[in-house]
Amino acid sequence: QLWHVGRTSLPDYHDGQLPWAPSAVNPETELRNQYGEKKQTATPHAMTIEEIAQTVKEFGDAAANAKKAGFDGVEIHSSNGYLIHQFFNNQSNLRTDEYGGSNENKARFFFEVLEAVAQSFPTNRIGCRLNPSLNGVFGIEGTPDTIPFFDYLINRLNEYDLAYLHLSEPFTDVSDIEFLESNIAKHYRPIYNGNLMINNQFDRETGNKVIEEGHADLVAYGKLFISNPDLAHRFKLKAETADWNMKTFYTQGREGYTDYPTLEKEKAKN
């Protein structure tokens, strides 16, 4: 993944300087610094046109470095309230220049990044990750313009022969918010013509179901893979999966990351 967190960062990571973002809007969230200490976010620095161009170039440089390092492809992380997502959202992007306002303008930074990355990888080696119904998490709030914007963006992505489009189901219950979409895979499968990957809270059964129903081509697993390093093997055997420990997420050291046992090691202990 290639990503830039934008305003969801702390001055601690930038020698005391403010994080960059589309506009000077504080996400009002709590983050951990490099020492694991929790701190409130600061109001970010609104990027200039020159700084936007610099950041686009840095995405391109990151892709070039990935190519040199031997990676087969890259995923552009345009989700979870990070920098690219901040350009998409009307509450984090208050710009009145060519990077704000209309759907085309709000998508401009993303497509410039995509074109920069495509200088190193063919588009069929590039994936893009989006989270259309993110709400109340990572400082992002959905608005009535949110789903129409993502409909526009994903329609445009049909012009690119991407490796896949990686979407997330809502992180929180949005069923009572009439302008947000509760069933992301089902909504975007008819819109997007390429390989569609979906994630968030799937297990073996629900993962198989979303593919069997034709709403997605692939399912991504994150937290379940952390607590089950042999997840594919467990799925094949229809074996029970281990629960993850949220208390160890984003903490220091190996606990909660590399110390979960495989199924064989669990059996050996019993």
> Tokens 């990355």 correspond to what residue?
117
Q: Domain ranges in the chain?
A: 11-220, 223-270
Q: Read off the pLDDT of residues 232-265 as tens digits, 9 standing for 90 and up.
A: 999 999 999 999 998 888 777 889 989 999 999 8
- pLDDT value of residue 269: 79
pLDDT classification of 149: cutoffs 50, 70, 90: very high
User: What φ, ψ does residue 19 adopt, rounded to 5°?
Assistant: -65, 160
82 belongs to the catalytic site: yes
DSSP string covering 48-108: PHHHHHHHHHHHHHHHHHHHHTT-S-EEEE--TT-HHHHHH-TTT----STTSSSHHHHHH
Q: Read off the pLDDT of residues 176-203 as tens digits, 9 standing for 90 and up.
A: 999 999 999 999 999 999 999 999 999 9
Evaluate if residue 114 carries a pLDDT over 80: yes
If we measure between CA atoms, which residue out of 83, 106, 104 comes closest to residue 94?
106
User: What φ, ψ does residue 65 adopt, rounded to 5°?
Assistant: -65, -40
Average pLDDT of span 66-76: 98
**Cα gap 10→4, rounded to integer Å:** 13
Residue tagged active-site, from 82, 192, 221, 260: 82
Distance of CA 26 to the CA centre of its chain: 20
Architecture of the domain spanning 11-220: Alpha-Beta Barrel (3.20)
Evaluate if residue 270 carries a pLDDT over 80: no
- β-bridge pairing 30-32 and 74-77: unpaired
pLDDT classification of 266: cutoffs 50, 70, 90: confident
Average predicted confidence (pLDDT) for the chain: 96
